[in-house]
Amino acid sequence: MAKEVIKISTLIAAGSVSEGDFKCPGSARIDGCINGNVEVDGMLILGAVGKINGNILAKSVQIGGEVVGDIVSPEKAELTNTAKVIGNLTTNVIVIDENAVFQGAVNMNQETPARTHGFAFKKVVKEDKKTAAMAVSEALKEAEKDNEDIDTEQV
């Protein structure tokens, strides 16, 4: 079986930092840092040193870096062994490699919000923009509490 060839139309190099939302009409590879929401019409590849602090909407994603935000990827989401994702994931197909870090919920409902090509996603982003930081903060606090509970249970 031949591997699918993906044509990358946009590359954000390691060391680059973008403040604000990012939108790409094709496929993209990000090895830098984006502090904002990311919308990619094709495939999004987040390299092992890449970071996204915001929500992601893409046809399919391959995450090797760090994401703090929700991911909507109607076709496929792959978290490689170097991935760290704190946020919810909506997709039809999911692959999580050993050693990947994922904290959130997975929705594999066939009727993902992205079926309307981002309309529902954009609405949620606008409504939740102010509370996104609070949600991430709460998730991190919960993870710390869980770790403290584990540490005390082992004693």
Per-residue model confidence as pLDDT tens digits over 41-62: 999 999 999 999 999 999 999 9
Residue 147 belongs to a domain:
yes
User: Quick check: is 86 in a domain?
Assistant: yes
pLDDT of residue 79: 98
Using alpha carbons, select from 39, 48, 84 the residue that is nearest to residue 66.
84
Q: Is residue 3 part of a domain?
A: no
pLDDT at residue 128 is higher than 60: no
Does the pLDDT of residue 21 top 50, yes or no? yes
- 2 part of a folded domain: no
Give strand pairing partners of 26: none
> Which has the higher per-residue pLDDT, 120 or 7?
7
Query: How far apart are the C-alpha atoms of 141 and 122, rounded to whole Å?
Result: 27
Q: Between 109 and 17, where is the model more confident? A: 17
Name 92's Cβ contacts closer than 8 Å, sequence gap at least 6: 74, 75, 76, 108, 110, 112
Counted residue by residue, the chain has a size of: 155
Q: Which of 73-82, 111-120, 137-146 has the highest mean pLDDT?
A: 73-82
Q: Is residue 28 part of a domain?
A: yes
Q: Does 115 score more than 80 pLDDT? A: no
Q: Is 1 a member of any domain?
A: no
**By residue range, what is the domain housing residue 27?**
8-154
pLDDT at 120 over 50: no
Question: End-to-end CA distance of the chain, in Å?
Answer: 51
Q: Is residue 69 part of a domain?
A: yes
Asked if the structure places residue 120 within a domain, the reply is yes
Phi, psi dihedrals of residue 11, rounded to the nearest 5°: -130, 125
The total number of structural domains that make up the chain: 1
State the pLDDT at residue 139: 63
